Structure formats: structure tokens, C-alpha cells
Structure 1
Amino acid sequence: MASRTAVRTAAIAGLGGFAVIFGLAELSRISGALFIIAPFGASCVLVFGAPASPLAQPRNVIGGHLVSTAIGLATFAVLGATPLALGIGVGLAIAAMLLTRTTHPPAGADPIVVALAGASWPFLLTPVLAGSVAIVLASVAYHQAVTGVVYPARG
């Protein structure tokens, strides 16, 4: 059985993820614009559940989503929503995130999301940039106010 501390830590991390995803979904509903994509749920796992991880740092969250989505948009524009586009998009996204030091595993799914949604270049700004920045800003505030964990990690 999990310790009381582990249960509390898990609940607090889950509450942070809930708050961000609920907020982005509600903003999407109210505005009629898309502010959320499925990989953001996995981003929340990292920023709230493992905030000290290098993969959870703002550069990785925002940069990883931007790099991967841009690659997904380019491969989709050239190849359409084909199996080849999905494979090339994910492969190039992995390589580009490693080369730019923006590795963020949830962003590896972004080229798939782009192709399956039939997204166009504005998708890079909304929901990807707006949503990833919102996740980072919300997690900074949440950790400061609720957990006391220093996020982003220093060092």
C-alpha cells in the first residue's frame, strides 16, 4: 500500500493536471478556438508529476511541441495523412528535438495529431504555442503556490 505522503503527492500532481487540462478545455469551449491537444495530458504528467525532470522543463515543453508540430505540419503538407508522413514526421521530430535540446516525449505525438486532424500552419500558434505556454505558466504558479517545488528546476 502506498504511503500517506505518496498518496498526497500523487493527488496534488493529479490536481495540477486536472486544473490545466480543464482550463484549456473550458477556454476552447468558451472561445470556440482549439487550445488543447491530447499530448498536453502527457505534458502535464511530466510538469506536475516529475517537475525536476529535464524533459519537464519549459524549454522542452514549449520547444519540443513547437519543433515537433512544425515538422508534422511540413510532412503533412508534402505527404498528406499517409503512413509515410506519420513515420517521417515522428522520426524527424525525435531527431530535431534531440538536436535542439528540446526533447519532450509527449511532443513526439504531435506529427500524428497534425496529420489526423488535417491541421494547417495556424495550428502551430493555437493550440500548440498557446497551450504549451499555458501549461508552463500554470505549473510555475501551481508549484509555487501549492507544492513548494522549485519549477522550473535550477541547475
Structure 2
Amino acid sequence: MKHHQPHALTQSGPSGHTEQSGNLELSGLSGLSEPIGPSAQSELSAQSEQLTLSGHSAQLRPPALVRLLTLLGPGLGAFAAIYAACELGALLGALLVMAPLGASCVLAFALPDSPLAQPRSIVGGHLLSTVIGLVLLHTAGSHTWSAALGVGLAIVLMQRTRTLHPPAGADPLVVLLGGSSSASWSFLVTPALLGSALIVAVAWAYHRLGSKRPYPQRWL
């Protein structure tokens, strides 16, 4: 009596057929001599996904030098503006720097999109507030109440003339409390006008050549 041996590829069941066929197809496609099991497939897939993600993150991450310049840029711009004002003032024998201009640099270089950082606000705000301080100094004198009144008037008039610039609110105090160095009407030109205009010019050059941010948003 002859016994027939079962064929080597005889299906032992639905699940066995599926696993064996899948292994044969994977081994044929990959060119490997042995089939790839499910765990190996999962590991290869995870490694491939990790490499893809790392490649994308490497492309999106800016170079270290660019990040450093972005971080230090506003400070470098302010340094250039104040240094230029000091050196140019020494060359011309004129005062081009006063304390509120340092605060103006914060807006001009770090927040160039702000309405408070536009040339109309920087130059106009310093001019108007300095005028208020000089008028009060020459009419009422340097007193506690006149200094306080100067700051209040500066805020109101800057709002009404669309020249609101927070650092300029300190200009009346500089004039009224600064002594003889700020008592002359020439203080309106140097440092108020020329100093603030110089900051705007340096900020314009810095954003045009360095930060590539649009500045100013508007001139007037």
C-alpha cells in the first residue's frame, strides 16, 4: 500500500499560507537569502523613519552662526548707534547722546515693527518732549511740579501728534534736572534732533544689511 507524501508547499492553513507567502515575497524583493520576520521589518521601518526625521530637522535648524547673530544682533546695532553718536559728537564738538536715546535703541533695533519705533515717533517724540522741557525750564524754572508737569504734557502731546515714543517721556526730566548743560535751546538740536536722527539712520542700515527686517514700516 503506497503512502503519498504531502507536497512541500501544501497549505497547512490560512494563517500559515499567508506568513509563508509574505516571507517568500520579502526575501525575493530584498535579495536576501533568508526571509525577514515581522520584528526585523518593524526595526528597519523605525530606523528609516528616524533617519528621515533627523534629516528634516537638520535642514530646518539654522546654522549656529546665524542663531548667534540673531541673538546678538539688536545689541550690536545699539552698540553701533551709540558708539557712532559718541565719536561723531567728539569730532564735531557737540553733544549727540542723552540717556533716553539708549532706550530708543531698544525699540529701534529689537522691536522695529512697533509703531513706537518708527522714525516719526523717535525723532518727533524727542523733539516735542525736549521743547516742552525747555519751555517749562525758561518760564517756570526747575521745580518738582514743573518736572512732573513736563512728563505729563509730553505724554498728552505725543499722543495727539502721533509721535508717541516712551523713551522721549524722560526728555523733560533731562532738561529740567540736567543743569546748565541742558538749559540752552541748542539742546533741541544737539542731542535731541541729531542724536535721534542718527539712531534712525543706523537702525535703517542695520535692518537693511543685517537683520533683513523691513524698517521703517513708514517714515511719517
| TM-score scaled by length of structure 1 | 0.92
Which one of the candidate residues 20, 33, 37 is aligned to 2:98? 37
Partner of 1:122: 186
Deviation of the 1:16 alpha carbon: 0.2
The equivalences for 1:67-82 within 5 A come to 67-82=128-143
Which one of the candidate residues 107, 114, 119 is aligned to 1:46? 107
Q: Do residues 136 (structure 1) and 200 (structure 2) align? A: yes
Which one of the candidate residues 71, 77, 93 is aligned to 1:10? 71
Q: CA deviation digits over 1:89-141, x for unaligned, max 9?
A: 00000000000010000000000001122322111111110011111111111
Q: CA deviation digits over 1:18-49, x for unaligned, max 9?
A: 00001111122233210110000000000000
Segments of 4+ in structure 1 off by > 2 A? 3-10, 28-32
Q: Whole-Å Cα distance in 2 between the matches of residues 80 and 12 of structure 1?
A: 42
Q: Whole-Å Cα distance in 1 between the matches of residues 119 and 78 of structure 2?
A: 16
Q: CA deviation digits over 1:53-106, x for unaligned, max 9?
A: 000000000000011000011111112221111101000000000000100000
Q: Per chain length, whose mean CA-contact separation is higher, i.e. which structure has more relative contact order (CA < 8 Å, sep 6+)?
A: 1
The percentage of counterpart residues that share the same residue type is 52
Partner of 1:55: 116
Question: What stretches of structure 1 of length at least 5 have no aligned partner?
Answer: none
Q: Greater shift after overlay, 120-129 or 28-37?
A: 28-37
Q: Whole-Å Cα distance in 2 between the matches of residues 117 and 54 of structure 1?
A: 29
| TM-score scaled by length of structure 2 | 0.66
Between structure 1 and structure 2, the one with the greater Rg is 2
Deviation of the 1:6 alpha carbon: 6.7
Q: Residues 7, 109 of structure 1: CA spacing in aligned structure 2 closer, same or farther, 3 A cutoff?
A: farther
Aligned CA RMSD, in angstroms, stands at 1.7
Q: Greater shift after overlay, 105-114 or 3-12?
A: 3-12
